[in-house]
């Protein structure tokens, strides 16, 4: 298939400058390797408006978009002080990233004041894959000195986007932080406040969908350290997870006590054996003299149920406590009966980062306690 050609003759007539801009773009639009048939808008970006200006809509069939847009469609008056406008394409097709997909800007070096030069020097988007949802991606390390109120990691997107998800990697260690966002660098909304919680590794954050261009991430603890982010992705995900409206903490529907989701065992027994999906049945053992194990999640989750698989051949009694900071614990399960195999426990839903399982009794001769696996929340 030949690459799709999109000819965009974009003209903005400003009364003060009386100047016309032209740009031409080339692209091939696909969804999971298949050509797309969908409406495509040519859009002029506005600095403080998430809606932007729809200049014209063209219907694409079978991935082939070959159209010339005349400047008469773009005779609009601009009030912006920026005399060189920005353009992008908005494609109306759901490929797993939502109802619309917006391309990056056509670079300003591809804006020209005459049609011939624009046609001779087009901007080539190449293949536009609608299944790639990320709109902001930073792979370089970002740093902030903790303890300085005025400092934060600052991220500026190329324009306004409607976002509901952030994923980022923290440096090794335990951290606390908060995140604020703004469409215009004037009005800020705090979307995440994990200052009271201990966080580590990969953070998977969900929040109310809103227009965002500026992002501030402020490391809150530990003091006198350097808060580092090594990877940052911002997206608009159609499969957003449920989250608590008061705290913003995710309410998971799938097991988060998983090494694949960056949970770790920090005390007792065989590290990570009970949270690795490929090792179900391998025994996680510890003794009644060193009678507890601690599982740490990478971030707080709202949890109210869990399943624990004990050894099959012997019986045990146990307590389960949960906490968010290693210092304060809430007793949520007190199992005084002698039990074995799978146990389903229910307690008041609350923020959880740490899970402490204390073995009170074991019928095994060597007084060891066995857990095959733990899942939270429970699936039943």
Considering 146-150, 159-163, 277-281, the range whose residues carry the highest mean pLDDT is 159-163
State the pLDDT confidence band at 48, using cuts at 50, 70 and 90.
Answer: very low
Q: Residue 289's Cα: distance from chain center in Å?
A: 42
Task: Name the residue with higher pLDDT: 220 or 150.
Answer: 220
**CA–CA dist 104, 135 (Å, integer):** 8
pLDDT in tens, 97-148: 677 888 877 888 888 878 888 888 888 888 888 877 666 655 445 665 565 5
**CA–CA dist 99, 91 (Å, integer):** 9
Which residues, 6+ apart, have CB-to-CB distance to 245 below 8 Å?
none
On the question of pLDDT at 156 being above 90, the answer is no
Residue 155's DSSP bridge partners are 215
Phi, psi of 6 (to 5 degrees): -115, 120
pTM exceeds 0.75, yes or no: no
Beta carbons of 194 and 353 less than 8 angstroms apart: no
pLDDT in tens, 233-258: 888 877 778 998 888 899 999 999 98
State the pLDDT confidence band at 82, using cuts at 50, 70 and 90.
Answer: very low
pLDDT given for residue 302 in this prediction:
96
Helix (H, G, I), strand (E, B) or coil at 17: coil
On the question of pLDDT at 305 being above 90, the answer is yes
**CA–CA dist 226, 369 (Å, integer):** 40
Q: Tell me which DSSP letter residue 272 carries.
A: T
Beta carbons of 89 and 73 less than 8 angstroms apart: no
State the pLDDT confidence band at 34, using cuts at 50, 70 and 90.
Answer: very high
Q: What is the DSSP string of 102-117?
A: EPPPPPGGG-BSSHHH
**CA–CA dist 293, 358 (Å, integer):** 7
Q: Which of 20-24, 36-40, 272-276, 334-338 has the lowest mean pLDDT?
A: 272-276
pLDDT given for residue 168 in this prediction:
92
Surface-to-core class of residue 59, CB atoms within 10 Å of its CB (0-12 exposed, 13-18 middle, 19+ buried): exposed
Beta carbons of 198 and 326 less than 8 angstroms apart: yes
Return the closest-CA partner of residue 136 out of 205, 237, 233. Answer: 233
Phi, psi of 276 (to 5 degrees): -105, 120
* pLDDT (average), residues 71-96: 60
**CA–CA dist 231, 214 (Å, integer):** 17
**Cα dihedral 316, 319, 324, 327 sign:** negative
**CA–CA dist 70, 74 (Å, integer):** 8
pLDDT in tens, 172-207: 889 999 999 999 889 999 999 999 999 999 999 999
- Token representation of residue 362: 């074991």
Q: Residue 104's Cα: distance from chain center in Å?
A: 19
pLDDT given for residue 251 in this prediction:
94
Question: Around 143, how many Cα atoms within 13 Å sit in the side-chain half-sphere?
Answer: 5
**CA–CA dist 23, 112 (Å, integer):** 6
Question: Around 293, how many Cα atoms within 13 Å sit in the side-chain half-sphere?
Answer: 25
3-state percent helix, strand, coil for the chain, nearest multiple of 5: 5, 55, 40
Of all residues in the chain, the percent with pLDDT exceeding 90 is 25
**CA–CA dist 182, 50 (Å, integer):** 11
Q: What is the DSSP string of 52-79?
A: EEEEEEEEEBTTB--EEE-GGGG-----
State the pLDDT confidence band at 94, using cuts at 50, 70 and 90.
Answer: confident
Q: What is the rounded average pLDDT for all residues in the chain?
A: 78
All domains of the chain in start order, with CATH: 5-129 (2.60.40), 136-235 (2.60.120.260), 259-375 (2.60.120.260)
């Amino acid at each position: 298939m030949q690459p799709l050609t999109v000819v965009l003759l974009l003209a903005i007539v400003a009364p003060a400058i009386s100047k016309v801009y032209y740009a031409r773009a080339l692209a091939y639009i696909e969804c999971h390797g298949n050509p797309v048939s969908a409406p495509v808008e040519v859009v002029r970006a506005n600095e403080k408006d998430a809606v932007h200006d729809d200049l014209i809509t063209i219907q694409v069939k079978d991935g082939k978009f070959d159209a010339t847009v005349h400047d008469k469609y773009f005779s609009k008056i601009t009030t912006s002080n920026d005399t060189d406008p920005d353009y992008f394409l908005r494609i109306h097709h759901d490929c797993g990233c939502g109802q619309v997909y917006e391309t990056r800007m056509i670079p300003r070096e591809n804006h020209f004041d005459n049609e011939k030069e624009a046609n001779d020097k087009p901007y080539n988007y190449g293949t536009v894959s609608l299944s790639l949802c990320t709109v902001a991606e930073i792979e370089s390390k970002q740093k902030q000195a903790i303890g300085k109120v005025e400092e934060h990691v600052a991220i500026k997107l190329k324009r306004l986007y409607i976002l509901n998800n952030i994923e980022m990697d923290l440096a090794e260690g335990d951290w606390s932080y908060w995140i604020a966002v703004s469409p215009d660098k004037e009005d800020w909304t705090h979307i995440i406040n994990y200052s009271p919680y201990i966080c580590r590794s990969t953070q998977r954050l969900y929040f109310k969908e809103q227009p965002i261009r500026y992002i501030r991430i402020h490391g809150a603890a530990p003091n006198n350290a350097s808060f580092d982010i090594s990877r940052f992705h911002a997206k608009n995900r159609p499969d957003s997870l449920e989250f608590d409206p008061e705290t913003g903490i995710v309410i998971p529907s799938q097991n988060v006590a998983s090494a694949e989701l960056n949970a770790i065992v920090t005390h007792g027994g065989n590290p990570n054996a009970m949270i690795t999906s490929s090792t179900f049945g391998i025994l996680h053992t510890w003794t009644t003299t060193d009678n507890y194990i601690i599982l740490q999640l990478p971030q707080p989750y709202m949890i109210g149920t869990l399943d624990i698989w004990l050894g099959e051949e012997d019986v045990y009694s146990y307590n389960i406590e949960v906490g968010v900071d290693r210092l304060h614990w809430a007793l949520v399960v007190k199992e005084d009966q002698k039990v074995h195999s799978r146990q389903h426990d229910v307690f008041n839903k609350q923020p959880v980062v740490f899970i402490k399982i204390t073995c009170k009794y074991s019928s095994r001769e060597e007084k060891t306690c066995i857990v095959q696996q733990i899942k939270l929340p429970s699936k039943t």
